[in-house]
Structure 1
Amino acid sequence: MPAELGLVTGIVGGLVVGLLPGSKLQVSGPAAGLTVLVYEAVTEFGLGTLGPIVLAAGLLQVVLGVARFGRWFRAISVSVVQGMLAGIGLVIVLGQVYAMADTEQPGTALAKIAGLPGLAAEIATNTEALTAFGLGAGTVAVLLLWPKLPAAVRLVPAPSPRSAWPPPSPPWPDCRPPWPM
């Protein structure tokens, strides 16, 4: 699926939502929790059925809103919602750890968790994976530790020091990009 579809979807969604009255619980933009659901729907049913699925979900939301079902959803415990969001976040983070090490990631969430020891072994034994993971971990460390530095140092935004680092020189002579040239 091309990235342009996501951009157009975000723009159209933002325009439509901007015309509607809002609420404090409204999700009006891309949400990380929805990416897992959309990915699974596209994987299972194909890209061609994504439009009808989204239309059906939207119509269901309108019907539930008109029927005033919102008050029943307040009965769901906050800890249940937080647990669901934490699980979705874990799936996303695990996918990024594999990407950060520039290794092939398993297809399911459970396989990603089960594959962590193998990923650690790959990082420890493969210099390419170690270099990629080190750069990613260093970038994350700068972003996380930056707010804890003295105020005088924090005048520079956190991404600036990372962008000033020189590009990595690969330790292997036959370095080729992973995409076709």
Structure 2
Amino acid sequence: MDKRELILQATLELVTENGFHATPMSMISKKAKVAAGTIYHHFENKEVLLEGLYAESKRKMGRAMQLATVTGKDYEADFKSIWISLFIFYAENNQTFQFLEQYAQSPFIRKETKEEQRKHYQPIIDFLGEGIRKEFLKSMDVEILTEMVHGTVVSAAKIFHQQKGLTKKTIEELAQFAWQATKA
């Protein structure tokens, strides 16, 4: 792991443990085992560091969704595969999940940052838009539908982390629930 990655990992761990305000740069420096100046070499300030962590987290999330088995032959199966892929990412990366949830709702996030990071999940928005156009999904604004579908994954991930797991059958039932809620 290079120093930038060490800094991001330390920030992720500390922010999810202590929150944004209780995680000073000195604490990040100590946890990452790098000099404070090293942090400032990679990140201008704490806000830029948090934006960098958000960007990296969104990139990983987007990559996880791309691992879904999407054949293009069965829209419902493709939908569920994408849903489950995102769920698995959140289940396996609890700190990243927590950070994304905290940061996306915080006053730190700039509108430009959200828009820039959209590129990592734009294929999913396009997939849902296609589902609306082809009348597989409810006819509604694709942005709202994306948030609603994401909300079901977030809720399932919270349940997973609170209960320390869910059965494969339950995960499939939750994907089916999301499908039933959005299908035309």
- TM-score normalized with structure 2 length: 0.28
The structure in which a higher percent of residues are helix is: 2
Q: Tell me: higher relative CO, structure 1 or 2? Use CA pairs within 8 A at least 6 residues apart.
A: 2
